[in-house]
Each structure stands twice: as C-alpha cells, then as structure tokens.
Structure 1
Amino acid sequence: MLFFRRREPASRRSLPALLATGLTLAFAGAAWAASGPGGSGPSESLFIAQVLVLIVVGRLLGEAMQRIGQPAVMGQLIAGIILGPSVFGALLPDWQHALFPASREQKAMIDAVSQLGIMLLLLLTGMETDLGLVRKVRRAAFSVSVAGVAVPFACGFALGEFLPDAMLPRPELRLITSLFLGTALSISSVKIVAMVVREMNFLRRNIGQVIVASAIIDDTIGWIIIALTFGIALHGSFEFASLAKSVVGTLVFLAVSLTIGRRLVFMAIRWANDNFVSDMPVISVILVITGVMALITNAIGVHTVLGAFVAGVLVGQSPILTRHIEEELRGLIVALFMPVFFGLAGLGADLTILANPNIALLTAGLVLIASVGKFGGAFVGGWFGGLGRAESIALGCGMNARGSTEVIVASIGLSMGALSQDLFTMIVAMAVLTTMAMPPMLRWALRRLPLTPEEAERIDRETFEAQGFIPRLERLLVGADESASGRLASRVAGLLAGARGLPVTILRLGEGRASGPVPSEAALANDVGAEAVVRKAAAVASDDPDRDPVLLDVDVTMRDADTVGQAGEIVAAEAAKGYDLLIAGLEPTLRSKGGLDARVSDVALSFSGPLALVSARGSHVDEPLRGDLNILVAVTGTEVSRRGAEVALALARAHRSQLTALFVPGAHNTKARRRRFRALRGQNEAILKDIVELGDKFGVPVRTAVRVNMSAEAAILRQARIGGHSLIVLGVSKRPGDVVSFGHVAGALLEDSDRSLVLVASGAAAS
C-alpha cells in the first residue's frame, strides 16, 4: 500500500490506534489464558505475548507519530506508557496485570531483552557517530556542546541537591542521583536531532552540521559521565581513589580503543568477511566485538554502555562495512530491540502520579529547567563559536530533544537505584515533551536561515559526490600479475585508494608474459611487489591537503593465486566477498590474432561490477611505478564516458597531474562524423563544459580539445602524441561473447596505442 503526504480522513488516521487497541486486548486475553489462575513460575508463552504486543503496538504508534512529523521512537515510548499503569492499567487493571505481571521471574525474561537492547542501541548510536563531521565544524560544535552540557548539567545537579529526601530512592546516595539528573538534563538525542535535520534537508547546511555534530559530542560526553557515575555508585559514595581509577580506566580504554583497538576491529571484520562462507558472519563479529568491549568497561568499573558506544564508533568507521551489512544489523535492532526497550521504559512510567499537584509542579519545573538550560547553553555556545543570532536560536531549538538518549539514561539510573520510580516517570515525561516540541521549533528556526553562496557551492559539490561513481567506492580488488601492466594496475589502485583510505585486496594472478616491449634489466632490478606499489601510490595520494585526516592509511591484503589457467574462477570467488571495482592488469593483454587474451577475457567476465582494465605501454613498461601520468580522457557525453572521466579526474587529483578532455563524435566514417558533429555542434561545448565543471569539483584543472575530421581512435592517438600524454583513459561498455569486447574504439586503441591505457567498463555485460 502506498501512503501519500496529504491530509487523511479521521477514520484512516485513527486506524493504527484502533488496531493497537484490538491487538492489545487479544494478546492480553491470550496471556491471561496462558498464565491461568493456577500458573506458577515464568511463562514462555506470556513472554512471547509481551514481546509481540510491544512490537506491534510500538510499530503502529510509531507509524502514527511519523505521519504527524514526530520521530517513530516516540510512538514506541508512548506505546509503553499506554500499555502501562497510566492508561491500560487504569482502565482494565486485571487485563494489564495478566499481560505484564509483577512477578520477578516473569519480568526478568523481558528485562533481559531490554538490557540487551540498551547495548545494541548504543552500538547503533556509535555507528551513526560521524567523526569526520565533528572535525569539519569542530570549533562551533565543541563550543555549543560544552556550554550546552555544562549549563543544564549544573541546573540538574543543583536540582538533585535540593530535592526532598522523600523523592530520593536512597538519601545517602544523593550525589549519584544529582549526577544522573544533571546528565539526563544535559545530553541531547543525536538520533532525533539528525532525523529532523535530515528531514528538512538541512544536514548539508552549516547550521545543520553544527547541530548534529554538537549532538554527537553531547552523546559522547554523556556516556562518559554515565560510566564514571556508575563507577562512583559501585562504591556507594564519593571516593577520590575510586573516581581516579574510573577516570584513568576510561581514558586508557578510550586511548587504546581509538588506536590499537581500531586496527583490531577492522582486521576482525575483514577477516570474517573474507574467510567465512556462512550467512552474515560480519554481523556475528560485530556483536562479539560489542560484547567484549562492554565486558572490558564493566571490568574497569564503568558501565557497559560506554563499551558498546565505542564499539559502535569503531565498527561504523570500518572500511568494509558495506551499506548492505549495516542495514541488516540496523533492521534487527530497529525491528526488535527498540520497541521492546522503549516500550518497557514507557511501562515503567506511571503518569497517574502527576495527579499529585506537587509532583506535577515539580515535573513542570524539571521541563522548564531542562529546556531553558539547554536552550541558553546552546545559544551562548553558538554565540562564542562565531555563529549569528538566528543560527544560535536554531541551535538552541535543535539541541532540546532528549528522546531515546534521555530514556536510556533514566533506565540505567532506575536499574542502579539512583532514581526513584517517581523521578524516572518525571524524566520520561520530560523526554516526551521536549522531544515532541523540538521538531516544530527547529523547523520554525531553520526556515529563517537563508542559503549562503558558500553553502550553495558546497552543497552542489557534495550532491555530485553522493551521485558520482568514485565517491561511492568502498573497496577495491586488483587482479594483476608481475608484468608492467600488473604493476601499473597496482599503482592506479593505490592512487584511487589513497585519497579516501579505501581497503585494497590484490590477487596475484601468476607471473605474466609481456605482449609488448620487455622491461629493461635496470627496471627489473628496481622492481618491487604489488603490495609495495599500492602503498607507494597511496602515500602519494594521501598527501593531498584536502584529504580528510580522519581516514586511515590504506589497508592492503595480498592473496597469491598461482593457478594461471583459472584466473577467472579465482577472481569470481574473491569478488563474492564484496568489491566495488576490479582493476585488472595482465599480460599478454591481446591474442596474436587480435582481441583480448583469453585470460583477460575470463577475468573481465568473472566480475559483474565495474572494471578498469590497465595496459602498460611506452614509458610505463620500464617505469610503471615512477612514470609520468599526463592523462588524456576521451568523452562523448554518455554515462559511460562520464564514468571514465571521473576515474581520470581522480587519478589526476591523486597524482597532481595534468588532464586533457578530448571530445570525439563517436562515428566510424567521415560523412557520418561530420553529420554527427554538425548535430552536436552546440552539445560538444556543453559536454566539455560539464567535464571542466566536474574537474572543478575534483579540484583538477581540465584542458579541452575537439577533433572531428578523423575516426575516434585516430583522434585519440593523434591528441595523445601532440599533447605528450602518457596515459589514455576511456569509458567503455562490456560486450558479451566467447571473448569479451569493449567495442571498436577500445579494440583499436589496444592494438595500436603506444601510450598506456585504462579502459573503465560498466558493470554487467550488455545482453
């Protein structure tokens, strides 16, 4: 069923609520029948009924929330409130108690799922933490976050210190309660903030990036504070020695995790992806990593949430964490653990206590302190961070959403005995109110911020990067032998990988036999392995001053495959592990009778994704590692040629080389070429202008040329000689057959060119 963004009839809008009510009563009746009056001990059927009703009602109310512009997680939390003593328990107490009995054994079963849900939610939060974004806007983000945390934290801590003893679960642990209140009032929900900013298309705006980056820092600071508070709570009082142990342990854990731990996490994920043949091994490894890091933080005396959060940060930065794997893990968490956890949190909140005027007044004061403190702190932080008044107001509005993060903090405080049931309910009420108020407030504030020219230029560039071929590469596969073409293919891979920190796997497909000039003895004496070639080229590319410093050095894996006759099967087996581009360099490239060599053809056909076939000629035969890269790219205005242009621009930027774009009409006979050129007389300028603009986005100046009174292959070869180009890049399409072909022009260049070639082929072969 398709739903359109329009005003719906009242009957349709109320459908989720009616379904939720009916299903709740049905599950409650089934649970009552399952438990029975004579039942004793925990019931498995009752546990299943509890999980089902939380998932179904949470999903339906989450759907209803999203339709009115609110985050779905609020629907899951409200579902728990409705199913709890606040509504369902007040209307049908016997049914509510049958579905959610108070027996400790029964509650332990669903609580176990909830506790696992907390850990996985923190894993997901960490995976969504974009350190690159924080680095981009670090000055304003840190200013906003520090002020936005300090002010409400001080207010919440002071409130805890002045609360009457009757409101505290254990008056002797007032310090712990005050710390939890301060933390609960000070941190924002990065998930809610990012959702609203993304929905309004403000994520690429300067203010949107500052808001999300500040929320990320808020979350990080909050989980560190919670971890340290947990360490204090374990000792029952403030002890300098125990606090120092927790602080030092946390700092050491963070330092080791973000250095050695990062490498170990990357290695574990890659090893599982490349060696296991069973389904979804990477997800199993991610869950193990999360559990291990949670146990480590527990062992040093801080809460497991810190370990899960840091594990998420490291997993999210893994170079081979493909979108598919991330979506599978996210689906499990969002579909099962989120509705169960937030539903149980809502169940624990009894809003009937607000009938007490004193508690209602205190709750209103809590909401006011939280809102004013967060808004004021973020506004002041934005002002000192160099932002204008309107931007600072938007920051204050955006940072006021507590949502999921608040509820997690409150749940931890309740389970630790730091918060009473009444305080927990007040915090949940405050989380619901501030979160539901934030989207309309932020929308109002953001509409008052016009787009600046600098933002427009950057957004245009980032839009291109999101749609382009090169920016979407995540992992490269190199199939190469020990020939000059194999070395040059490794060099091309290193240049492409080094600029963005992409992992590279090299399949060594035999020794290779030269089909052209034989390398000199001096060149062979100075030769190095393919892995070293990739690393040297990547080092050249990584010197780019515009390269994000968060990116790590290129991770290179070597795999020997000495069975020359089965190169295609070897590549196909490796390709199944997930790669975005195959860069092949094999000799001989051509058969003696013309056309691609059988081994090259097998490799090209074995990979269903994009392919870059590299053939070393000219100076690159003797010096495939150090030869000049003066690049010529042929363009025709098609998507295929544009992809080739992107590869050429990426190589030129990485090597800081010259690049010339040559427009060729793409017809075979002179009369057809002239007729086509006249038809495209206006378009050829537009095509070349598009490539020049593409070069501007890559930061590469592009020279242009047009040749029409000769065939495309003759025009390319002539321009290569006149321009002194050493590398020709051409976008081509795979054409199936007994031996794969890339078309007439590519075949002619492979036969006649004395300059090195990179043929960039599209994915699957055309049928």
Structure 2
Amino acid sequence: MTFEAILYIGVLILSAKLFGELLHRIKQPTILGNVIAGIIVGPALFALVEPIDEIELFISIGVFFLFFLIGLEEIDVPGLFRVLRKRIFAGAAVAFLVPFSAASALGIATDMEFVNAFAIASVIGASSLGVTAKILTDLGKLRSTLGLEIFTMTAIVEFIAIIFVSVMIQINSAGDVTEITDIAWLFIKMIIFFGVAGAFSVFVLPRIMRGIKKHLKAKEIYFAAVVGFILLVAYFAEISGIHGAIGALLLGVAVSRMPREEYFEISKSLHAVGYGIFIPIFFAGIGLHFLPNFWNLPLWIIVGFLAVIVGVKFFGSYIAAKFARMRPTNAVAYGVMSKGAVDLALMLSLLSSNLLEEDLFSLLVFGTLMMMVLSSVLLQKSLKKIVQIKIGSSEIGMMPLYFRKAVSNLKVEDVMSEKFTRVPHTLTVSEYLQEYPDADKTSYLVFDDAENLLGAVSPKEIKKVTKDMRSMVQIGKIVYPNIAHVTLDEYLFSAVQKLNSQHFHLMPVLSLDYQHVVGIVNDQMIMDLLVQEEQK
C-alpha cells in the first residue's frame, strides 16, 4: 500500500466522523454526514481523495461489515415468516411493489435492459430500518406498539428489497440468461449456497465460537475469529457466484440466533471496529463515486426518478399503512418510506456489478439523501405529536430483533402470568370444545393426573380430528408434546425467538429446577408489557 493511500484513508476517516458528528448534532442520520464528507473531499468538490484500488478494498470490507451487522441486528427470518400470512406482510409487499413498479416502468422507458431496470427499481422500493429505529429510540417510541408496527413493516420491506437485488445481481453475473433452465440453475446455485452456508452458520459456527471462547485465552481472539469468518464467508460467496455482501448478511442472520451473552459480545465488538472505521469509509466512498454530472441527464429522467423516490415511495407507504389498518397512517408511512444504509449499499453493489451507470448512480444517491432528510424530519415531527399509545394487535409480528432493542434487559419473570388454565388429558375433544368455547382460536397446556405437563393443544391439532371421532378421542392423545419452554431467568427476546419457532402463541414457564410449570407467557402479555414500558 502506498503512502498516498494511507493519506487518503486518514482523510476519509477523519472527515467522515467529523461530518457524521455535525449531522448527528442537528438530529439527522450520521451516514448522511459520512456521504457528504466523501463528496466534499472527493472528485466532486475538492478532489483531496481519489477512489484508488486501496480505497476500494476498504470500501468492500465496509460493505461486508455493514451487511453482517444488518443481518445481525435488522433481519429476523423466523419473525418474518411468523407474519407471512398476516395483513402487515401484505402491507409491506404493497409498500415495496408500488415504487418498484413505477421505477421499473420508468427504467424501461429509458431503454434500460430488464435486469438493470428491475435491479434499480428494487433499490428504489427498499426501505432502511436503521434510520427509522434510531428515530424511534431517540423519541422513546421504540417500546410502543406503534413503534413495533413501523419497525416490523420496515424490516419486511428491507428484506424483500435485498432478496430482489440479490437475484438481479446473480442473473447479471451469469451473463446471457435466456432459457428457463438457466434461470432455474441460478436459483438452484443460490439455494445450495444459502443451504450450505446456513447449515454451517447454525450448526457448526456456534460450536466453533464456543470452543474458541472456552479453550483459547489470547486477548480479543474471539472477536478476531468473527471478523475472519465474515471475510471468509464473503469470499466463498463471491466464488460461488453470490455477492459477498449477501454471504455476510446470511452469516449475520445466523449469528443473531446465538445466546444473548455471545450475541451482545459480538455485536459490541463489531460495532466498534465496523462503525468506527470501515463503515464510515464505505459511506464516504459512496461520496467519492458521486459526481454532479447527473444534471446532464434529460430533465424528464431526473424529475421522473426523483418523483418516484420521494412521491411514489411515500404514496406506496401510505397505501400500505391503510391496507394494513395501521394508525396514525401518516406516521407509519413516514417510517416505512425511510431510506438509508441499505439503499446506499445496494446502489454501490449495482454500480460495481455494472448494473448502474455513474450518472444515474449519482442521481439515485442524491434522491436517497433527500429522502433520508425528508423522512427523518417528517417522522420526528409526526411522532412528537402522538401522545396516546395503542394496545397491541394480534396482526403485529413478534420480532426478536425488535425486542432485543426495545426491552433487552427484561426477563421472562417480568412478563409471565402465574394464572393459567390446566386442561386435563382425559377430556374428549368434544368435551374440550364445550368447556373451552375459545378453543378454536387459542391454545392451552395439557397436564396428566400427576400435574406433569404433556404438551399443548391448538386449533391445528383439533382440526386433525374428524367430527365423528371427537366424542371418542381424548385430548391427551392429540397433544403436541414438543412445545418450547422458557425458565424464569431467561431474557425476553429469547422467549420471543422460541415463540416464533412454533405455531403456538404461548409457552410454559418452568421453575429454575425445571421441575414445575409456574406460569405462561404469550404474545399479548409481551404487547401489554410494551405499553407499560412506554407509559413509564
């Protein structure tokens, strides 16, 4: 590495942190200051820093760190699947598809290839959870049910956009893809990589990390191992034909399922080095690639894309909030339409994949920065007016990552109820339905004569029994025995993770010696806790 590159990196780090601090002081996203720093010191203005190869290496590492942290802190696959059939997921799909459709049509109208148009439209349709979560936290609304609604829908839109962009990059990297078999092979390759990498991350990596922590005593070796795995997964993703950032994202998603202590240790360490050095360089690097020559584009293209990024994106988010019956509609829309780190990272990925020209890249960056400021100001203004906090809705998804941010220090004993129904196993299905009229909508725990827990029964198990057999079949015969459980001293977000892994909406709480069921915890109890925490 030349001394010139060392100078450039020093200037980028200092300028990015300085302008990030300035924007933070005026209550704007820090990453906005990072990008502005890159524009000021880069070729667009003073040309103090050039995007040479050594800088590009740091930018690439920053992308890997960013997507790993997004997977670690913002994407929760079980939580997303939990709301897959609910209105909130349909609303999120609307929030993505409205600007995606408009941007696709505009791209095709400018004679783009379909892959390019769809890739760019996917980025425009994206939302960014980071900015929204920061505003909700700063205003004390993260622990409200309204905060959960905005958080959940924005996370789903972000996830949909990442998947769409990943597919477009994969199709583009494969070259001339025209046959159905070619497209099918692309998806098979992606599924194989996700399957292998996911299995490694879930079943092998946690054991390796625990072994490292237990047997190796060198200082910071645990942290170094995580960094090494991020880079290795990104490398193997690239040689498998998958963008390295997606590999890092997948690793982050897997690591997010680790126990609380290990999760926070990894998160804290990666935050320090990621947001301390590499990620600010990455966002400043976007500024280095920003050139004001986008003003040379035809006026209708400039106006068209800015109108989609701002106007259509808000319209789609507003319609989505209406469709999902979220109130107040404007506040939800302002949160869901937010732009930020994910959008900028995906744009740079499209630029490096030759799916995006430099002039259009600069235009989209400009529009995204505008939207970051606009959505941030409007969301803050809207939330400050909201005093009444809503009670939880069963339509809301239970997102472990949300509870990790909102109530990470609370334990199961803070929310559980000691009063719960014990269904005897000798009841027939008919007697059960007569004695518990809401049994077709909710779940109950089933016990034997010695008060030992046999499992749980839900409407799903009841539907398996034909009506003519219900007077003969006992509840104890259809009970689901492998229900997840928690103990009194487990943390709340761990309980939410377990709730998402099953179709039951309640879990037994066991005593510390695992001998007795001392209570239950369910979705509504956690919702009520959010309201109580907000009122405090």
Does TM-score exceed 0.5, indicating one fold?
Answer: yes
Q: CA deviation at 1:468?
A: 5.0
Answer yes or no: is the 8 Å Cα contact 1:371–1:434 preserved in 2: yes
Which sections of structure 1, spanning at least 5 residues, go unmatched? 1-42, 89-95, 165-170, 473-535, 555-647, 659-692, 698-767
Counterpart of 2:430? none
- From the superposition, tell whether residues 654 and 442 of structure 1 become closer, same or farther in structure 2 (CA, over 3 Å): farther
Counterpart of 1:58? 16
State the one-letter code of the partner of 2:213: N
Counterpart of 1:114? 59
Instruction: Give the Cα–Cα distance (whole angstroms) in 2 for the partners of residues 318 and 412 of structure 1.
Output: 29
1:79 and 2:37 equivalent?
Answer: yes
Counterpart of 1:233? 172
Q: CA deviation at 1:452?
A: 3.7
Counterpart of 1:307? 247
1:453-494: per-residue Cα shift (whole Å, max 9, x none)? 6369x9xx999965557779xxxxxxxxxxxxxxxxxxxxxx
1:321 and 2:258 equivalent?
Answer: no
Alignment of 1:338-357 (within 5 A): 338-354=279-295, 356=296
Instruction: Give the Cα–Cα distance (whole angstroms) in 1 for the partners of residues 73 and 15 of structure 2.
Output: 26
- From the superposition, tell whether residues 463 and 336 of structure 1 become closer, same or farther in structure 2 (CA, over 3 Å): closer
1:293 and 2:242 equivalent?
Answer: no
State the one-letter code of the partner of 2:517: R
TM-score, normalised with respect to structure 2: 0.72
State the one-letter code of the partner of 1:348: H
1:161 and 2:108 equivalent?
Answer: yes
Match of 1:378 among 317, 320, 336: 317
Alignment of 1:247-646 (within 5 A): 247-255=187-195, 257-258=197-198, 261-319=201-259, 320-354=261-295, 356=296, 358-359=297-298, 362-388=301-327, 390=328, 392-452=329-389, 454=391, 541=486, 548=495, 550-551=497-498
Identity %: 21
1:188-213: per-residue Cα shift (whole Å, max 9, x none)? 11211211122121112222112222
State the one-letter code of the partner of 2:182: S
Instruction: Give the Cα–Cα distance (whole angstroms) in 2 for the partners of residues 378 and 45 of structure 1.
Output: 48
- From the superposition, tell whether residues 649 and 299 of structure 1 become closer, same or farther in structure 2 (CA, over 3 Å): closer
Counterpart of 1:578? none
Instruction: Give the Cα–Cα distance (whole angstroms) in 1 for the partners of residues 513 and 217 of structure 2.
Output: 38
Q: CA deviation at 1:401?
A: 2.2
Instruction: Give the Cα–Cα distance (whole angstroms) in 1 for the partners of residues 33 and 146 of structure 2.
Output: 28
1:231-254: per-residue Cα shift (whole Å, max 9, x none)? 211233342333212223333444
Instruction: Give the Cα–Cα distance (whole angstroms) in 1 for the partners of residues 29 and 500 of structure 2.
Output: 38
- From the superposition, tell whether residues 228 and 453 of structure 1 become closer, same or farther in structure 2 (CA, over 3 Å): closer
Counterpart of 1:214? 153
Give the match's secondary structure for 1:204: coil
Instruction: Give the Cα–Cα distance (whole angstroms) in 1 for the partners of residues 513 and 154 of structure 2.
Output: 37
State the one-letter code of the partner of 1:327: K
- From the superposition, tell whether residues 469 and 370 of structure 1 become closer, same or farther in structure 2 (CA, over 3 Å): closer
Structure 1 vs Structure 2 CA RMSD: 3.7
Answer yes or no: is the 8 Å Cα contact 1:184–1:406 preserved in 2: yes
Answer yes or no: is the 8 Å Cα contact 2:132–2:335 preserved in 1: yes
Answer yes or no: is the 8 Å Cα contact 2:19–2:33 preserved in 1: yes
Match of 1:123 among 56, 59, 68: 68
Give the match's secondary structure for 1:387: coil
Instruction: Give the Cα–Cα distance (whole angstroms) in 1 for the partners of residues 406 and 107 of structure 2.
Output: 51
Instruction: Give the Cα–Cα distance (whole angstroms) in 2 for the partners of residues 203 and 143 of structure 1.
Output: 22
- From the superposition, tell whether residues 310 and 465 of structure 1 become closer, same or farther in structure 2 (CA, over 3 Å): closer
Instruction: Give the Cα–Cα distance (whole angstroms) in 1 for the partners of residues 169 and 182 of structure 2.
Output: 11
Instruction: Give the Cα–Cα distance (whole angstroms) in 1 for the partners of residues 245 and 291 of structure 2.
Output: 26
Q: CA deviation at 1:63?
A: 0.6
Counterpart of 2:49? 100
Counterpart of 2:144? 205
Answer yes or no: is the 8 Å Cα contact 2:169–2:243 preserved in 1: yes
Instruction: Give the Cα–Cα distance (whole angstroms) in 1 for the partners of residues 390 and 192 of structure 2.
Output: 44
Q: Which of 1 and 2 has greater Rg?
A: 1
Higher relative contact order (CA 8 A, sep 6+): 2
1:177 and 2:112 equivalent?
Answer: no
Instruction: Give the Cα–Cα distance (whole angstroms) in 1 for the partners of residues 325 and 103 of structure 2.
Output: 27
Answer yes or no: is the 8 Å Cα contact 1:211–1:395 preserved in 2: yes
